[in-house]
Amino acid sequence: MNKKTKSLIPRYRFPEFKENDKWKYLSLEQIADISMGVSPPSTAYNENNEGLPLLQGNADIKDRQSSPRIHTKEITKECKIGDILLSVRAPVGTVAKSIHNACIGRGLATLKCYKDYEQNFLYQFLINYESKWGNISQGGTFDSS
């Protein structure tokens, strides 16, 4: 066991973890399906509730929930209720949950945990990590991840 791993093991352990001295380090893509949004053509946008709600970025997130302003008749990428939304355009890193089946534009990515992992844990982890995204984002005119 290396020094870094040893420092991560708590002094007091639950009995079922007493013999488990190894932590697994996994990348985000190993625990969740990540889907980048694709914007439909603007000619498909409407305010008549035709098609699906369109989530384009931070402007469509309120109180950590999806809050679409318009709809689109042409579906490019879709999110489901309960998916994690992550802003990938300035400001990068805003985390929310989708309360809509919706089309996602290029300002958002969705994350859905694979069956062996907990969606709510990932959601809370990403909220905790939210302020750090700005340090790793990159871009010219505006940041994007």
In whole angstroms, give the CA distance from residue 97 to residue 123. Answer: 8
Instruction: Give the amino acid at 123.
Output: Y
> Which stretches of the chain are DSSP H helices?
3-8, 28-31, 119-129, 133-136
Token pair, residue 111, equals 């994350």
* pLDDT score at 132: 80
Domain ranges for the chain: 27-131
Greatest extent of the chain over all pairs of C-alpha atoms, in Å: 60
* pLDDT score at 25: 80
CATH for the stretch 27-131: 3.90.220.20
Range of lowest pLDDT (33-42, 84-93, 109-118): 84-93
State the pTM of this model: 0.79
| Whether pLDDT at 6 is above 60 | no
Highest-scoring range by mean pLDDT, 5-9, 87-91, 111-115, 139-143: 111-115
* pLDDT score at 12: 62
